[in-house]
A and B are shown apart, each in its own frame.
Chain A
Amino acid sequence: MTAAAPEPKANMGRPVPRYEAAAKVTGRATYASDMPLDNPAYAFLVTSAIAKGRIDSFDLDDARRVRGVIDIVTHENAPKLKESKLFSNGGYAGTTIQPLKSADITHDGQIIAVVIAESYEAAREAANRVKVSYTAVAPSASFDSPGTTTAAAKGQNAQFKEDPEVGDFAKAFDAAEVKLTASYETPTQHHNPMELFTTSCAWMGDELVIYEGSQYVYGLKNGVAEQLGIDADKVRVVNPYVGGGFGSRGSMTPRTAIIAGIAKRLNRPIKLVPTRDQGFTIATHRAETRHEIKLGAGRDGKLVALRHDGAEVSSRPDAYCVGGTKTTTRLYACPNVASLVSIVRADRNTPGFMRSPPEVPYLFALESAMDELAVKLNMDPVELRRINDTNVEPIGGKPYTSRSLMACFDEAAKAFGWSQRSPQPKSMSDGDWLVGYGCAATCYPTQMAPSAARVRLQRDGRTRVEIAGHEIGTGAYTVIAQTAAERLGVPLEKVAVFLGDSDLPPAPVAGGSNSTASTCSAVMMVCDRIRQRLFKAVMPSDSLTDKAKETVGISQAPSTQAAKSDRPLDIEKAFDALGVGIVEEYGEWKPEGAPLDSFTAMHSGHARLVGGHQMKDKIAYAFGAEFVEVRVNRFTHEIRCPRLVGAFAAGRIMNPRTARSQLMGGLIWGMSSALLEATEIDERNARYVNDNLADYLVPVSADVPGVEVILLSEQDDHINPAGVKGLGELANVGTNAAICNAIYHATGQRIRKLPVRLENIEV
């Protein structure tokens, strides 16, 4: 075993290499824009240079003269498209702002024209030559701009149902022995997946194929069909590999239906490859947030009062919000809790999911405040968490299905060497560098959604698994292949997996870290049906009781590991007894508590996620603890993070190798969200300034010399058949707080606004 392939502990699968590793590193893997098209035309976008106002006129003469230009589509001649509602209101779209519909401009970088040409180069050149006259209106850029409106999230966002509260916060806070009030702030961020926001559309008669990196092929298929006004059965979305999503490809963006409409009109396949900077405004982003936290505690450290108020920026038409108070009000034992989430409307594009959408900003506030409270109490921050650890969430009084938070703290603290920390701020240094240690908790809700799967087994053990899941770099192919191999008892090499195609059985959106739990539970169920058919063929039925007839071949254990200990099945013998060459099963699985319409919704591209705090009589979260070492240069004030250590418990770990890779990427991103990543906005015109990968900073290898991931063994039989909690979004939560807590320890300076840059350090 190597560091990259950790030894499996109890309730962990084998650390087999990635299913598609060779295809990816040799360039054989075909991403959406690699798909061959028959005689395509190329599209290039023109985006607005103002954030608010109107287009008065276009001067297209110069652009039309570029050799190879076929058409220039503006609001004056764009294909007519139907509206699509926001995903949170029962639609598919990530924004209700529809470009090319009128002369109005509602945000910076809105699509205002599409140039179609015989080559990419001609389209791009012509786009550069499009001249636009605008009437600009002064926009509201963000929190502090004049002209914004603010209102409670509850009542305007259908998915934000309740501001959690319990007890009497005001009274308890008043009476608390130790009090803390502090405000925190997080910036706008962009996903910047490596794969650009490309779209190719090809019609064959009245049938449309879309090649586009998507985290939800069923959602995109149904959404585009709705906008085009055609039957969803006529639309197919294909993307066997997705070059990173991080939430940016979870809901439909306006570009897809526009390109499909133009392809139809021109009767030619069209390929769109937008630029990196256009990606900042034609898809979504993580909105900037502000928080006020009030904590009241006894001298013993026990929380008696907690209030978390959050505010998030959204667009004028859409009430998007992440509302992370659902998590921060439930993480620690506290009898008196209050909270309020507000939405601030500005002249911006509608924000959207970005890896751990609620937890990243909201736990930054809570986990920073916990550290501040520990300082006030003169208490070790780990001990403060221990004192307030709970197996029952305080709002609804429901038990956690399992919770290994303190085990994670203890393991990570040991590996990190937390005991070497001298608690006094500014007490550790090394040459030019002040050294600080910090820690924070992370958690992420366990979520599941209905999923279907089709599995086909041949006599020689060759297996084909089909499911419209998504390989966004997480290891979906690998864990699905492992599940089928283990469940059917066939060698892993014999399993072929097909994903990323909306002609396959539906799977939910690859979001909310639900994919492994949902798709593997469906695959397990379908494999069990195959085993059952085979078992029945080789067992004389009169030897079984009626009950045994129902369940023979099906593992009673919740996790795939247990399947091994079941009766071995001689596949060849069973096939001979059945007298067939292939056994195939299709099945639809839904998690406990899924709504009645789950399966119809699944087929029409609506994922009904359940889990987290929304389960009946219980609450399910994955947990972790993160420790960081931060160094602050006395002279340059540069801030570096040489060590990141995280310990995580997330139910069954399907594959320690892919799990570690996910968590490692998360830790790095978490560090990045504290020290590097921020989209700068020019307040005068509400436009993004650093919209490229040279200026939008992400870590390079030299920034992350030491990252250690510890996987804890945990078994949870109360969540889903796969026993999986999901960990894709677990590790980039809390890291930002751990970094600021470490900066405080290094410098004595508490920083409550991200990102932390060298100019924010005063030593």
Chain B
Amino acid sequence: MRPFSYQRATDPDMALQALSAAAAANNPLTKATAQPLAGGTTLIDLMKLDVMRPAAIVDINPLARSWSAIEPGSDGLRLGALAKMSDVAAHAEIQRNYPVIANSLKLAASAQLRNMATLGGNVMQRTRCSYFRDVSYENCNKRNPGSGCAAMDGVNRVHAVLGTSDQCIATYPGDFAQALIALDAMVEITGRSGARRLPFADLHKAPGKTPDIETTLQPGELISAFSIPGRWPRSVYLKARDRQSYEFALSSAAVALDVHDGTIRDARVALGGVATVPWRAREAEALLKGQKFDDGLAQRVADAAFAEAKGRRHNGFKIALGKRVVARALQQAVTMEI
């Protein structure tokens, strides 16, 4: 860890000011010299590992007074960016009307981490690629642009099969983002020049030629809330992993369905653990709409979701696994009692 200054922001303006003062250096957000601190469960770890080296930390936890509300309404749900993962997961109305959200949070990390971690920090968490997290490896395009990618031909069991580029195959590791992208969530962003709203699907950027740029968030901006239109009581989050708890997904599916008289009116499918960014499987959803469900359809949908997938030496299994996870999540969603 390197020396850094620490400032506690007691209101949004103070936070934005502190962040944008340092933002001038014109780095991408991941390298910005000032970083907001929420639960710290990603940021502090990466600072200890010398992967992130901010000169200034702006503690935004005091903003929780206004930015941590959990507001279920008749036409949708609004979640403050500083709400804790554990509080949202345990919320009765979210469990009832948005099981995919509650479960994506409940099945993530550990109880201790969920008590610390915030929703805003959660969607901004960074990849678990071992080479990214170990600075003794020179070649990591995400950390060290232009240096190559150690994972490409290295140990890449947990790496992505969708949305990869020849520069980076790192998996987006989070769970909650799959629920957000599936449900067409919007992100509320606050910056020095005012507030803006963005489809959550436009927040993360695939690695392409610039894997160091992970989101469209600009240095000096903060996420203040997420809003989710509608209600999705028929929704599931299915997560396959090496151990029963406290482990990232090898493959996961967020599925939400609107079924009427046996016909699927609307369908949402998002994939976790297999892609470089939160991943919406729109081609797969298209196959479901207007159809009656059967296992054959589930299979076709799963195939469509992974049509573009590319495996490497150790992660090829994720394609077959991902398909089974999608198919099973669909079956569970169709048969769930609501």
**Chain A residues near B (Cβ < 8 Å):** 47, 49, 121, 124-125, 128, 277, 432, 633, 635-638, 640, 675-676, 680-682, 684, 689-692, 694-695, 697, 699-703, 757-759
Contacts and interface: CB of A to CB of B under 8 A. Distances in A.
Contacts of A635: 324-325, 327-328
Contacts of A675: 242
Contacts of A47: 136
A638 B128 contact: no
Nearest to B326: A635
Contacts of B317: 758-759
B245 A758 contact: no
Interface in B242-277: 242-247, 250-251
B51 to A, nearest CB: 11
B50 A128 contact: yes
B1 A703 contact: no
A689 B243 contact: no
A676 B150 CA distance: 24
B246 A695 contact: no
B1 A124 contact: yes
B328 A697 contact: no
Nearest to B109: A694
B321 A757 contact: no
Contacts of A758: 240, 242, 250, 317, 321
Contacts of B3: 125
A674 B131 CA distance: 26
A127 to B, nearest CB: 9
Contacts of A694: 128
A690 B131 CA distance: 9
Interface string B144-186: 0000001001110100000000000000000000000000000
B243 A699 contact: yes
Contact of B242 (A124, A432, A684, A757): A757
Contacts of B328: 432, 635-636
B53 to A, nearest CB: 9
Interface residues of B, number: 35
Contact of A638 (B131, B155, B241): B241
A700 B245 contact: yes
Contacts of A637: 240, 321, 324
Contacts of B137: 49
Nearest to A672: B243
A682 B325 contact: no
B137 to A, nearest CB: 7
Contact of B154 (A684, A702, A757): A684
A703 B324 contact: no
Contacts of B250: 758
Most buried by B among A636, A681, A691: A636
A7 to B, nearest CB: 32
A124 to B, nearest CB: 6
Contact of B245 (A691, A702, A759): A702
B244 A695 contact: no
Contacts of B7: none
B11 interface: no
A681 B154 CA distance: 9
B170 to A, nearest CB: 14
A691 B134 CA distance: 10
Given A689-B130, A700-B245, A680 B324 contact: no
A638 B238 CA distance: 12
Nearest to B247: A697
B1 A636 contact: no
B128 A49 contact: no
Contact of B243 (A128, A432, A692, A703): A703
Nearest to B136: A49
Given A121-B1, A128-B135, A682-B150, 8 more contacts: A47-B136, A636-B328, A681-B155, A682-B155, A697-B242, A700-B110, A700-B243, A759-B321
A676 B2 contact: no
Interface string B1-41: 11100000000000000000000000000000000000000
Contacts of A697: 242-243, 247
Contacts of B251: 636
A703 B245 CA distance: 8
Most buried by A among B1, B50, B241, B244: B244
Given A125-B1, A700-B245, A758-B250, A682 B154 contact: yes
B337 to A, nearest CB: 16
Give the 10 A-B residue pairs with the shortest CB-CB distance, closest first: A759-B317, A636-B240, A49-B136, A702-B244, A702-B245, A635-B328, A689-B155, A128-B50, A700-B246, A635-B324
B240 A638 contact: yes
Contacts of B1: 121, 124-125, 128
Interface in B211-255: 238, 240-247, 250-251
A700 B242 contact: no
A752 B102 CA distance: 39
B245 A636 contact: no
A689 B244 contact: no
Contacts of A49: 136-137
B243 A676 contact: yes
Contacts of B2: 125, 128
Contacts of A757: 242
Given A125-B2, A277-B134, A635-B325, A684 B243 contact: no
Contacts of B130: 689-690, 695
B242 A676 contact: yes
Interface in B301-338: 317, 321, 324-325, 327-328
Nearest to B239: A636
10 contacts: A47-B136, A125-B2, A432-B328, A635-B325, A636-B240, A640-B244, A689-B130, A689-B131, A700-B244, A700-B245
Contacts of A689: 130-131, 154-155
A204 B312 CA distance: 58
Interface string B103-143: 00000001000000000000000001011011111000000
B243 A702 contact: yes
Contacts of B240: 633, 636-638, 758
Interface in B51-81: none
Contacts of A125: 1-3
A432 B238 CA distance: 13
A758 B157 CA distance: 12
A28 to B, nearest CB: 23
Contacts of A432: 328
Contacts of A703: 243-245
A680 B325 contact: no
A702 B239 CA distance: 15
A49 B50 CA distance: 15
Nearest to A690: B130
Nearest to B316: A759
A49 B134 CA distance: 10
Contacts of B242: 638, 675-676, 697, 757-758
A636 B324 contact: yes
Nearest to B317: A759
B265 to A, nearest CB: 26
A689 B241 CA distance: 19
A633 B239 CA distance: 12
Contact of B128 (A684, A695, A702): A695
A759 B320 CA distance: 9
Contacts of A124: 1
A636 B243 contact: no
A610 B136 CA distance: 45
A124 B1 CA distance: 7
A125 B4 CA distance: 12
A676 B154 CA distance: 20
A282 to B, nearest CB: 14
Nearest to A638: B240
A694 B48 CA distance: 15
A689 B150 CA distance: 11
Contacts of B157: 680
Nearest to A49: B136
A636 B317 CA distance: 11
B261 to A, nearest CB: 27
